[in-house]
Chain A
Amino acid sequence: MSLWHIAWGYIWNRKLITLLTVLSVALGVGLISAVHTLREETKRRFEEEGQAFDIVVGAKGSPLQLVLSSVYFLDAPTGNINYSDYEELLHHEDVRAAFPIGLGDTYRHFRIVGTVPELMHHKWIVDPISGRERIPFLLAEGRFFEKDFEAVVGSVVAQQTGLKIGDTFVGTHGFMEGEHAEYPYTVVGILKPGGTPNDRAIFTTLGSVWEVHSGHEARGEHTEGEEHHDDEKEVTAVLVNLQSPAMRFTFLDYVNREMNVMAAIPVNEIQKLYAQVLATANTVLLSVAYLVVIASALTIMIGLYMSIFQRRRDLAIMRALGASSIDIFGSVILEAFWVTILGIGVGWLLGNTVAWTLGMYLTQRIGMVITAFGLSGEMLFSYAVVIIVGLLAGILPARQAYRTDVARDLAAT
């Protein structure tokens, strides 16, 4: 019969009020948990993908747009650059590997990415300490493309379009109507789900993209607003790995200064995006969550206060049995602690369920996997804050209990 047991006994004795109080705490904690999980997981995933290439080179415009379009296949490309720019980059002494990509067509709103077969064998170390590798192109079935109009489709593409090995399909120009019916692609491989943007893309040779668009150009099928393709061979962007990541800024300066193109460091652009836009949203959401926690702390306080008022006699009995004022104070504070801990437990479950559900949606939408049901340092810090708020909420009722007039309360029947 420790004070913990006594506190638990009283909590259990008023189950309904406890349940409602726990739920109010859980609401705030759930919101905090969901915001933390989503923010940390999206940031981690974006940054991991961003680590795949040291530099992305493309047409001049917005560096963020270039990164989003060429690494994450999320935005419209900034334009095209000459194939000769790719060749110059490929042969630069600081460059370890360079992969050209050509964007433009889609199949049922999934990007068709023209590139070189070498990209399919690209891998990188995401964690230098553990040496954990990311191999983004793993085949579930079939093989990688070898010649023009052979296509490897991402797992989400295969799932949502029903494309199988041997199936053929035709691309649509941009995201607009207008099919290239005379240039059918044949599916030769399907990728394993990787939780990356590749899940939602279709990969083929750069030659296929060029050939489709040379015919397209000839018929003058361009509509206003679409990217323009010159007769000269062009690529949308070049994904570059340097001899060392330490050379990123020097090489960025070199490209921006010496070449008529734009370079961007993917990780930096993503971090800037987080700092500028998502951090604000994150702060707003967390502020709301903490307000909910403060509101629920008031609920704890009112609940405990009412409870103390109703059981003044019980407290007097405990005093008569020899409980000190400190024992009484402690048992009430522990009640607040139990309610807060239960609220945190339920809130963690609630928040992570929301994050997991949103993660499922994000996986379908942009191929990003959110790993929910984890615990991070920031989450633990937030929970510690919630516990402190909960304990503070218990102080006033505990003080009331502490000051109980034993003789008077025992006489009251």
Chain B
Amino acid sequence: MVEVIDCVRKLGPGVQFRCKEFRAEQAEMVALCGPSGCGKSTLLNLISGLLRPDSGIIRVDGIETQNMSEEEMDRFRGERIGFVFQTFNLLQPFTALQNVMLGMRFSDTRHSSEWKPRAMELLERVGLGHRFKSKPATMSVGEQQRVAIARALANKQKLILADEPTGSLDPKTAAEVMDLLLRLCEEEKVTLLLVTHDPTIAARFPRTFDCTDLVKDINEQVA
């Protein structure tokens, strides 16, 4: 499902991201672990196409993405990749329902008449059937992250990239959100790549990938 092969990206003067090889299979769940600044989020950004590699190959769902045009990458991302962020990243002017619908707005996967029923169904599944018309500011952090999970699944994406999705939550809510995310990804047979610092969360994954040393200071190495 995801392949990153010999991928290099310059991040700053003398600072370079290099990933020799990373693979994840269809419906596999992988926790990406490592200390802050080691390159976990950079790896997610490269896989999603938000960052482009200077060299190497990135393959998602069997398609090489590193040479796609900006427009092709936008469309590809909208159709196949869902995001769950640490700070939820819901759009404040819009209701929970509209935020989930926005996940479908920018892809061609389904007709506009299907957006609302699909968004309602997903919100029901994450336990927010009573919060369709609520704006993010009026929701708890746990509820906001549930909306973000619903949005990430809106297009029946094949890949979910989650960047420390429980980082802003208290332990109880974090556990509930993780339960929900893992259950939904399993039900939908979605590949989940999740960045985390938390060993207890990493322990719930069948496989972990150690990101330590993905980012290196070339000057130090030379010295």
Contacts and interface: CB of A to CB of B under 8 A. Distances in A.
Contacts of A407: 45, 50-51
A5 B115 CA distance: 14
A6 B106 CA distance: 12
Contact of A324 (B75, B86, B101): B75
A321 B93 contact: no
Contact of A320 (B77, B98, B105): B77
A322 B106 CA distance: 5
Interface in B36-67: 41, 45, 48, 50-51
Contacts of B106: 318, 321-324, 327
A410 interface: yes
B94 interface: yes
B74 A324 contact: yes
Contacts of A322: 74-75, 77-79, 106-107
A120 B45 CA distance: 87
A13 B92 contact: yes
Size range of the chain B interface in the assembly: 20 to 34
B89 A325 contact: no
B107 A13 contact: no
Interface in B74-99: 74-75, 77-79, 83, 85-87, 89, 91-94, 98
B91 A314 contact: yes
Contacts of B77: 320-322
Contacts of B45: 407, 410
Interface in A10-54: 10, 12-13
A312 interface: no
Nearest to B107: A322
SS class, residues of chain B in contact with chain A = helix
A323 B102 CA distance: 9
Contact of A9 (B51, B98, B107, B115): B98
A81 to B, nearest CB: 75
Nearest to A324: B74
Contacts of A6: 102, 105
B177 to A, nearest CB: 18
Contacts of B115: 1
A372 to B, nearest CB: 36
A5 B106 CA distance: 13
Contacts of A313: 89
B94 A9 contact: yes
Contacts of B91: 9, 314, 317-318
Interface residues of A, number: 26
Contacts of B87: 413
A313 B88 CA distance: 12
A321 B83 contact: yes
Contacts of B71: 324-326
B70 interface: yes
Interface string B98-132: 10011111110000000100000000000000000
A321 B78 contact: yes
A110 B110 CA distance: 75
A13 B104 CA distance: 22
Contacts of A325: 70-71, 74
A10 B74 contact: no
Contacts of A413: 86-87
Interface string A120-138: 0000000000000000000
B50 A406 contact: yes
Contacts of B83: 320-321
24 contacts: A1-B98, A1-B104, A6-B105, A10-B93, A313-B89, A314-B91, A314-B92, A317-B91, A318-B102, A318-B106, A320-B48, A320-B89, A321-B77, A321-B83, A322-B75, A322-B78, A322-B107, A323-B74, A323-B106, A324-B74, A410-B45, A410-B85, A411-B41, A413-B86
Given A324-B70, A324-B106, 4 more contacts: A1-B101, A321-B77, A321-B106, A407-B51
Interface of A: 1-2, 5-6, 9-10, 12-13, 313-314, 317-327, 406-407, 410-411, 413
Interface of B: 41, 45, 48, 50-51, 70-71, 74-75, 77-79, 83, 85-87, 89, 91-94, 98, 101-107, 115, 151
